[in-house]
Amino acid sequence: MKLVVVESPTKAKTIQRFLGKDYRVMSSFGHVRDLPKTKLGVDVEHDFTPTYVIPTKSKKAVTELKKSASKADVLIMATDEDREGEAIAWHLLQALGGEEQKEVQRIVFHEITNNAIEEALAHPREIDMNLVDAQQARRILDRLVGYNLSPFLWKKVAKGLSAGRVQSVAVRLVAEREREIEKFIPEEYWTIEALLQSQTTEFLAQLIKIGENTIPKLGINTEKETDKIIKDLEGAEYKIESIEKKATQKHPFAPYTTSTLQQDAWRRLHMSAKFTMRIAQQLYEGTNLGEGAVGLITYMRTDSVHVASSAQTAAQKFIEHEYGKDYHASRIFKTKSRLAQEAHEAIRPTDPRRTPESIKEYLDARQYKLYDIVWRRFVASQMSSARFDSTTIEIETDNSKQTTDNKNYTFRATGQIMKFDGFLKVYPIKFEETMLPDLKEGEILDLQKLIPEQHFTKPPPRYSEATLVKTLEKEGVGRPSTYAPIMSTIQDRGYVEKDEQKRFRPTEIGTLVNDMLVEHFPKIVDIAFTAHMEEDLDNIAEGKTEWVPVIKTFYDPFKKNLEQKYENVEKKDLTEETEEVCEKCGKPMIIKYGRFGKFMACTGFPDCKNTKSLEKSTDVPCPKCGKGKISEKKSKRKRTFYGCNQWPKCDFALWSRPTGEKCPECGSLLVEERNQNKCSDKTCGFIAEPRGT
């Protein structure tokens, strides 16, 4: 009997379906060994040797695997193909003690299909210790930072805080963006459009030049300048100076990587990175389509856009059959990542003939939506470009009748008409078709009116999950397997929270911790340094360097700096006096900082442990009891909501911030949701005009 070990029971069930009675497929239920929770678990005096233990939750699985392994002739490790999967395979082997007694094989595959499994079994290899060492190095680095910096924060800031190597960089990005927003000063600028009449129809053109000088975005920045231009143009003649027509194309995007899938899932489906990966894991591991479990997509942790030739051929056959030969175009996308052993293929459907609609009945709503965008993105990537006819018309004014400085002004109108939809047939994206009338050079146009419009520059937006993942990837911080955990960790630790538009803003404690780390441990939160560390881990994975020197180069100066900071940095006094008295012991209450921000505590601690949460009032009267005010609160999962401050006497609550205004249709409170004011009564459905219009 051959024992095949994977991480997930779903994955085990799918693979077992493809294998005969000579194989038994079992699950390890994830990692079976890890560093201990109660101590550092790294011997810094002896080459950072880690001490691994089997967690309590894994002991039952290890016991069952050992029993089966003792009866097996061959152990086959079929864990995921990335560093994490390679490390799980190695840890499994150590825990099972099978390396000295059994024939051990390591197999990898990018998709869970019959052909892929057969191909993997036909070409087994040994465990790649370079990948294992890279994973160990990351784990040890993170442990050294977390278990050394966290106690420092407890002593110098507040109890219960923690620090992480990569997560701290993400918090810094969010905190610095918030400061940019706070310091931002809007700048005024104006645009001028002309509504022009040809012999057949009206169209708009925008002012782009004054004389020979092109107007930059902020080129017209006062109403006075605008009025002068309007005055100059009184009585001017508008003549078509040039007409340029050309064919343009829109090309399809590359198929998804982990990062782009998470970004698109957030933008299109409002799925968090963590939730996206959970659903993608389900699609990868296998879904029952009526004839047993089938893997629907390829491995979802990848930074490659490479597509296997067999997948390209399958896509070609499908596209030509469904849409015609004109719609197919073979494309090869270049991968930025240099980790060939970790980035074999992009995320794609295992069979393009399996359209989303054809399997919709077997998927839940979330699985269907995610599979739909993966399928469309891949199929579109192998399709022809969309073709457009574009027209650019420049109109010059003749101001010779004017008595001012006699400058000519140039306006521009652009039009675009789609001639062939190409990949847009399966992957719609927003674009605007603008029809311009048939015109001739030298033709004189009639001015209907000039339209000046005032604008103000806007501050940079807060990071969403999509834009934060994109920035981390661009800066080289983190890798495909880490983006989702980073998004979750910075929220779970209470360092960032989401606003009404679901964008990140730093909490008070997050800002405090970030400022402390930036001042005293700048390398830990330095983007370039963290990106360089990722490159070192990549070099370990590629066998170009050893892991111990990488850890030592980081740890020695880090430890020395930490020891100095313990001596030199004074504890921050974050307490604030209040006029409140503890109702339990009568002593004064003070405001303190904790892991999740400010709270009120009794000065009689530890004899009296009375605490209260601090609520931010919105000054909006409670519509239910009429006595209380709506306050910002935190749920048990630290999610922000809004409820009456008279709780538990009044249980009125909302998930979205109330505006203080009432719905003109039903009288319920209006709330802020995704840049719109909506009625809090979902049965009403009233939506006000978007803010800022």
Q: Prior bond to 452 cis, omega within 30?
A: no
Name the pLDDT band for 693 (thresholds 50, 70, 90).
Answer: very low
Residue 403 has pLDDT above 60, yes or no: no
Q: Are 488 and 496 in contact (CB under 8 A)?
A: no
In 3D space, the residue among 431, 433, 337, 322 whose CA is nearest the CA of residue 380 turns out to be 322
**Per-residue pLDDT reduced to its tens digit, 524-542:** 999 999 999 999 999 999 9
pLDDT score for 339: 44
pTM here is 0.84
Burial class (CB within 10 angstroms; exposed 0-12, middle 13-18, buried 19+) of 186: exposed
452 vs 684, residue with greater confidence: 452
Per-residue pLDDT, 147? 94
Whether the pLDDT of residue 466 is over 60: the answer is yes
Q: What is the mean pLDDT of the chain?
A: 91
Query: Can you give the pLDDT at residue 596?
Result: 65
The pairing of beta strand 74-77 with beta strand 103-106: parallel
Model pLDDT for residues 327-343, shown as the tens digit of each residue: 999 888 887 655 433 44
Q: Residue 487 and residue 465: Cα distance in Å, rounded?
A: 7
Residue 195 has pLDDT above 60, yes or no: yes
Nearest alpha carbon to residue 584 among 563, 611, 547, 549: 611
Mean pLDDT score, 499-507 = 90
pLDDT in tens, 24-67: 999 999 999 999 999 999 999 999 999 999 999 999 999 999 99
**SS3 for 74?**
strand
Name 290's Cβ contacts closer than 8 Å, sequence gap at least 6: 362
Tokens 């931010």 appear where? 616
264-312 pLDDT per residue, tens = 999 999 999 999 999 999 999 999 998 788 999 999 999 899 999 999 9
Q: Which of 288, 383, 291, 302 is nearest to 348 (CA)?
A: 302
Please identify which of the residues 256, 299, 327, 371 carries the catalytic annotation. 299
pLDDT at 406: 62
pLDDT of residue 300: 94
pLDDT band at 99 (very low <50, low <70, confident <90, very high): low
Compare 21 and 689 and report the one with higher pLDDT.
21
When pLDDT is averaged across residues 654-675 and rounded to a whole number, the result is: 85
pLDDT at 634 over 80: no
Q: Which domains, and CATH codes, for the chain? A: 2-127 (3.40.50.140), 137-184+461-568 (1.10.460.10), 188-251+386-456 (2.70.20.10), 258-381 (1.10.290.10), 573-614 (no CATH)
Cβ contacts of 442 within 8 Å, gap of 6 or more:
239, 240
Tell me the C-alpha distance between 28 and 23, whole Å.
16
pLDDT score of 402: 56
Q: What mean pLDDT comes out for the span 409-436? A: 94
Query: For residues 79 and 131, what is the distance between their CA atoms, to the nearest angstrom?
Result: 13
Q: What is the pLDDT of residue 677?
A: 84
Q: Are strands 23-27 and 409-420 parallel, antiparallel or unpaired?
A: unpaired
pLDDT at 637 over 70: no
Q: Is the peptide bond before 648 cis (omega within 30 degrees of 0)?
A: yes
Question: Is the confidence at residue 371, as pLDDT, over 50?
Answer: yes
3-class secondary-structure state, position 3: strand
- Confidence class for position 401, pLDDT limits 50, 70, 90: low
Does the annotation count 299 as an active-site position?
yes
Round to whole Å and give the CA distance between 425 and 252. 11
pLDDT at 689: 60
Check residues 592 and 167 and name the one with the higher pLDDT: 167
The pLDDT value given to residue 680? 87
pLDDT tier at 664, thresholds 50, 70, 90: confident
Q: What is the 3-state secondary structure (H, E, C) of 253-316?
A: CCCECHHHHHHHHHHHHCCCHHHHHHHHHHHHHCEECCCCEECCECCCCCCCCCCCHHHHHHHH
> What pLDDT shows up at residue 472?
94
User: What pLDDT digit, counting tens, does each position of 217-263 carry?
Assistant: 899 999 999 999 999 898 899 999 999 999 999 999 999 999 999 99
CA distance 613 to 161: 18
Q: What is the pLDDT of residue 254?
A: 95
